[in-house]
Amino acid sequence: MSLQFDPNTLPGDGLDIQGSLPPSFFDLAENDQARPVTPLEYNLHVSKDEDGELFVTGEVSATFELHCGRCLEPFQLRIEQTDFAHQIPMENGTPDLTNLLREDILLALPTYPRCETGNVTPRECPAEGRFDSPTEPSGDEAPDASGKNTWEALDQLTNLKKN
């Protein structure tokens, strides 16, 4: 499965290519934390500059099912790259856009998915606030807060020694 074209047939004002690639295009493992649930849709413009270098710009999108890192429930996230822009690597004369599309979308997936960021079916994370008690720092602030507390504790120890 690939998306190739012949640069020799590229018109002077460029080439518009659009279509879709099935979810299997992403070639993700069954146990991967992200599962594509729609085809990848692309709407691209390929152009050539004076130096003969090829560029592709446009939009790519696909919807994934992810699992929330907080409540562990599945949710859907639509990735839309509206400013897709790449120089096309020349490989044996027939550039293949497949990897560019695949990587651009996959790199846009969140490392720490949160279901409240889902943009297909808006929802509140049922686990939101569960850890936000005064005695337990919330997930995002934990490293800073604990680091600060450690330093404060050290300061107090130093002060005690001085006294």
What residues make contact with Zn ion under the rule CB under 5 A?
68, 70-71, 115, 125
Q: Are 71 and 124 in contact (CB under 8 A)?
A: no
Least distance CB 129 / Zn ion (angstroms)? 11
**Between 70 and 102, whose beta carbon lies closer to Zn ion?**
70
Measured from the CB atom, the residue of 54 and 77 that comes closer to Zn ion is 77
CB of 110 to Zn ion, least distance (A): 12
Minimum CB–partner distance for residue 67 and Zn ion (Å): 9
Q: Which is nearer to Zn ion, 124 or 152 (CB)?
A: 124
Cα atoms in the Cβ-side hemisphere of radius 13 Å centred on 95: 21
Closest approach, Cβ 134 to Zn ion, in A, equals 22
Cβ proximity to Zn ion: between 54 and 115 the closer is 115
Can you tell me the distance from the alpha carbon of 85 to that of 96, in angstroms, rounded to the nearest whole number?
15
Which residues, in sequence order, are CB contacts of 81 under 8 Å at separation 6+?
59, 60, 61, 104, 105, 108
Name the minimum Å distance from CB 151 to Zn ion.
Answer: 33
- Partner residues linked to 55 by β-bridges: 47, 87
How many Cβ atoms sit within 10 Å of the Cβ of residue 46?
A: 20
Nearer to Zn ion among residue 97 and residue 115 (C-beta): 115
- C-alpha distances in Å from residue 44, one per residue of 41, 53, 81, 150: 10, 16, 11, 52
